[in-house]
Structure 1
């Protein structure tokens, strides 16, 4: 497929390689995504969907962050893109190489940091005020500079404060630490270093279940379906795909939005009532994580400590 021009800004190039194969037999779909693949939800959905088919088949996962996943769709590396940025999705559709099928589940951004809260951002009235407090104190902050949806969300937060700490290492390098780490590794590093960071609910709960973090709590998270920190996932496909591929795409997206697919979303968690994602019907996770912390592989609220 010829590479069309796009106005989407995303440093670097998407990875075309298959990260994982679900099922066995003929590959019927190639799905691109970052977070849901890394946390295991994509595998759970694909395995359940494949079990409904009359004959064996397989689905592959191609791992990239949100914007690179869009580019992977444009380059014909994948058949379905599961992405998190509405502006870029609308731009791709306007350019004619992508069709948006709407949300299929919801994740959530969070501001996370040490349980001891050395800067006192627990008293901040907004995420923007919290980041401004961190900057004034010059306390350690870990920033993912990898082009991900998390990075762009974090940039929006800093810019709202009139700050761009990622642009001046000489001035800010002692407290603003940049990395290209994927979500799980970035969270683990911040937890060990006592740093604040922007991450997502699914990664936080997944790493809680894996017992890789112990010193982090949530200070800000969505409190409604319209909250600034909502991180909803939409399904995209290519209008130039073959008729056979379009058929498989339509069936899988129909499954994702169906009661059966949404039941998988609702039940995907660490087994103690904290679902990693929210369903379309739920709109956002009502079980808040704020003030809780990891303990023995579970997210525990203060009353249970």
Structure 2
């Protein structure tokens, strides 16, 4: 069915239809093209080093910078070197324990800030922000004598254990991140359900377990996975607080650089990159299934 000229003009006068037609016919300006090109260049600048290290993880040469051919020799070498296996194992264990500590503390802090706001909230947020922006070298220098004091002077032998030291050190920044995420999740949700639970004479613990925690659970899971990924690469703090026999992967790489980078280092780095991407994908999936939009997911993961 064809439209007359008058009907076509009338459709163009409609706000939505007219805007669509004008957008379809208007040519792209040079500024739009330039911005697209600039965006691509920025992405290449950010991700080119990662792409290079992933490619060189399949290098069959003896040294990382000497490309001899494509193969999986570097990944197979990981199974033959106990030092690499131990470093990866220590990193995974400490990251997991640090994520548990950060999630437990950060979840309670985030719920408290969201459900009991007041002047103290801004002071507490300031302290969390201070923790987030403090240079890691400062935290590392402060943690080392503190751990020695707790372990030797006070006789708390657990603080002489390398896993405990690394876990506590890795959980500092991650706790602040989890607090931001949980608070951002609950601030945007009404507390009517919790108030109704109280009106029905439910005990505070029952309200927390059956209503508050389920409401915050997507953010709790997201915070746990992010804390886990943050705990994998805590190089500066790990290099200060580690003890003999519990060398994490970042410190192992740092010491291996002095004798020459080998392809197996790139191979393990690629595996950890894949683990990080999987964790982030799971975070996005959890938040999406909770009903969040893409904007909400980005805001929650950033703690906004």
TM-score (norm 1): 0.25
TM-score with structure 2 setting the length: 0.25
Structure with bigger helix share is 2
Q: Which has the higher contact order (CA 8 A, sep 6+)?
A: 2
